[in-house]
Each structure stands twice: as C-alpha cells, then as structure tokens.
C-alpha cells in the first residue's frame, strides 16, 4: 500500500487528567475521502484537530506520539504552525465566515499568507468555482458574507480553505447545520474536491459516510476500533462494536 498522506502514530491526548485519545495509529491515503465516525464524545474532533495543531493553545493539553504530513512531523520544532495550516486546511461544523464581503473572505487569507496581489483575483474566482458558489455569487462579490444562506456560507468557507491550495482538508461535521438540499450540494462538492485533496471528515450521518467516503474509521472511547473501506465497515465489519454502531444499536 502507498504511504499515507497524513498519519497519526501512537497519538494519545489528555485534557488535564482526562485521557481523550488512546494510542491512535491511522493513515489517510492521498486523494481519498475518509470518514471518522463514532458516538458523541469518542474523540473524533479532538483527533481531527491534532492534525493542524488546533490544541496548541488550549490550556492543560498534553499530547504524545507523532502526526505526519507525508514524512514530515507536524509537531517538529522546526515546523511553523501557519505553514502547516496552509497545507492542512479546516472547515468547521458551523460556517464561520469573517464579517467581510464574499470576496474579502477569500482575499484576506491569501493576503495574510503572502500571496501576491496580482495572483489573488484569479485564485478567488477559481476557488469560488471549485466550491460550486461562483454561479450564485459572481454578480455580488462585494456583498457581506453574512447575507448568504447557511449552505452558501459553508461553501464559502470551503472556498476559503481551497484558495490556499492545501494538500489536506479536514472537515468537522460540515453539514450538520444544513438542510438536505444544501447537504447534497456540499457532498457533491466534497466528492469533486477528492481529485485534488486528501479529505478527512467527521460525521454523525451514517448515510453521508456511505455516500461520500472511500474509507471509514470507527472510534470508541478514544480508541480506533476499526478502519477499513467504507463498504467493509458498513457491511462486513470484523468488530462487534463497529457492527452494532453502524446498524444503529447504540449512538
Ligand atoms: N477543550 C477541552 N477541554 C476539556 N475536555 C474537552 C475539550 N474538548 C473536548 N473535550 C472532551 O474530550 C472528549 C472528546 O471530545 P470530542 O469533541 O473530540 O468528541 P467527538 O467524538 O468529536 O464528539 P461529538 O460527536 O459529540 O462532536 C469529550 O469527553 C469532551 O468533553
């Protein structure tokens, strides 16, 4: 098998005294979509956040083990957090556009990441197209992003991540606040993005995992119980807990 694009090796994490991740070993393949599933509180978001160092500033956090992007240790002393976040983008549960125009929402990230002014316009247009938003907003790019619908705001946040040309996109329940139609659009978009990016998505929606993910990882109480192709996890799980969870016997 190919070397994973992104991996965790022996990751354990504590919030104060409480251990939330327990010796996590997992690899995510390049240009594939992997869903992280498991009951509430099992550590999915915490794991996702390890990959772009979102816990760095949280008081009382202790982390052991390693995370790698290709062969590079994400937590090495020589690594700049901003550089890692440029290569590993993140989209959150609730769309969080800046209080700026649609255009500026994307322009701002490009600017602070040092992208030259003459390259920015092209990247903004392209990322809006890649995020299936261009057709809806091309004539109102200077409208406040807050005036977009929830689904459009989430696509804008994806455009903002994509504009920086990351290698990996982490998504933490990106559709949980959206209606079925907006969810369908985002799912279509995620499947499309797979051609260029490695995607890891936390979801509570079992149908969604089956619709979009190549691979699925089942977590329970801070551990990975099973990781396999999505059809195997849903139809042929080797672990009893996985099978019970995906068939809705507990949640
Ligand atoms: N900043 C924090 N400080 C202390 N405990 C935390 C913090 N963030 C998360 N936790 C705890 O870590 C555990 C794992 O939380 P996490 O959000 O990773 O779970 P999850 O599987 O993503 O849950 P959900 O599906 O409900 O979002 C929970 O018990 C949670 O209360």
pLDDT in tens, 79-116: 999 999 999 999 999 989 999 999 999 999 999 999 99
Measured from the Cα of 16, ligand 1's closest atom is 4
Q: How far is the CA of 43 from the centre of ligand 1 (A)?
A: 6
Asked whether 87 and 62 are in contact (CB, 8 A), the reply is no
Asked whether 199 and 6 are in contact (CB, 8 A), the reply is no
Asked whether 88 and 172 are in contact (CB, 8 A), the reply is no
Alpha helices (H) in 142-239, listed in sequence order: 150-163, 180-193, 206-212, 230-235
Which residues lie closer than 8 Å to 185 by C-beta, 6 or more apart?
Answer: 132, 151, 155
ipTM topping 0.95: yes
| Helix or strand holding residue 84 (H, E) | helix 81-87
Record the pTM.
Answer: 0.95
Residues with CB under 6 Å of ligand 1 are: 15, 20, 38, 40-46, 58
**Per-residue pLDDT at 250:** 81
Q: How far is the CA of 182 from the centre of ligand 1 (A)?
A: 26
CA distance 234 to 207: 10
Q: How far is the CA of 61 from the centre of ligand 1 (A)?
A: 12
**Per-residue pLDDT at 249:** 84
For 200, half-sphere exposure in the C-beta direction (CA atoms, 13 angstrom radius) is 31
Closest to 140 measured CA to CA, from 152, 130, 151 = 152
Please name each of the domains of the chain with its CATH number: 6-40+65-246 (3.40.50.300)
**Per-residue pLDDT at 101:** 97
Measured from the Cα of 38, ligand 1's closest atom is 21
Measured from the Cα of 46, ligand 1's closest atom is 18
Burial of 122 (0-12, 13-18, 19+ CB in 10 A): exposed
**Per-residue pLDDT at 34:** 98
Q: For atom 17 of ligand 1, which residue has the closest CA?
A: 45
In b/e form, how buried is each residue of 216-238, taking b as 16+ CB within 10 angstroms?
A: bbbbbebebbbbbebeebbeebe
Measured from the Cα of 48, ligand 1's closest atom is 18
pLDDT in tens, 114-169: 999 999 999 999 999 999 999 999 999 999 999 999 999 999 999 999 999 999 99
Q: Which residues pair with 218 in a beta bridge?
A: 37, 226
């Amino acid at each position: 098998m190919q070397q994973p694009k992104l991996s965790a090796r022996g990751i354990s994490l504590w919030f104060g005294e409480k251990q939330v991740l327990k010796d996590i070993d997992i690899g995510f393949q390049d240009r594939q979509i992997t869903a992280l599933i498991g009951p509430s509180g099992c550590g999915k978001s915490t794991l996702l956040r390890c990959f772009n160092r979102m816990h760095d500033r949280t008081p009382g956090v202790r982390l052991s083990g390693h995370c790698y992007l290709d062969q590079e240790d994400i937590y090495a002393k020589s690594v700049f957090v901003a550089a890692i976040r440029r290569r590993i983008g993140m989209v959150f549960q609730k769309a969080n556009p800046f209080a700026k125009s649609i255009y500026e929402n994307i322009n701002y990230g490009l600017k602070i990441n040092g992208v030259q002014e003459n390259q920015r316009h092209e990247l903004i247009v392209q990322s809006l197209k890649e995020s299936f938003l261009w057709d809806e907003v091309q004539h109102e790019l200077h409208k406040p992003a807050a005036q977009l619908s929830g689904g459009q705001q989430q696509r804008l946040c994806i455009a903002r991540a994509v504009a920086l040309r990351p290698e990996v996109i982490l998504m933490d329940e990106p559709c949980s606040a959206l209606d079925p139609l907006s969810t369908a659009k985002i799912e279509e978009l995620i499947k499309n993005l797979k051609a260029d990016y490695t995607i890891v998505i936390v979801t509570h929606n079992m149908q969604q995992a089956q619709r979009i993910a190549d691979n699925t990882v089942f977590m329970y109480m801070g551990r990975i119980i099973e990781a396999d192709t999505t059809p195997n996890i849903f139809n042929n799980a080797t672990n009893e807990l996985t099978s019970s969870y995906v068939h809705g016997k507990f949640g």
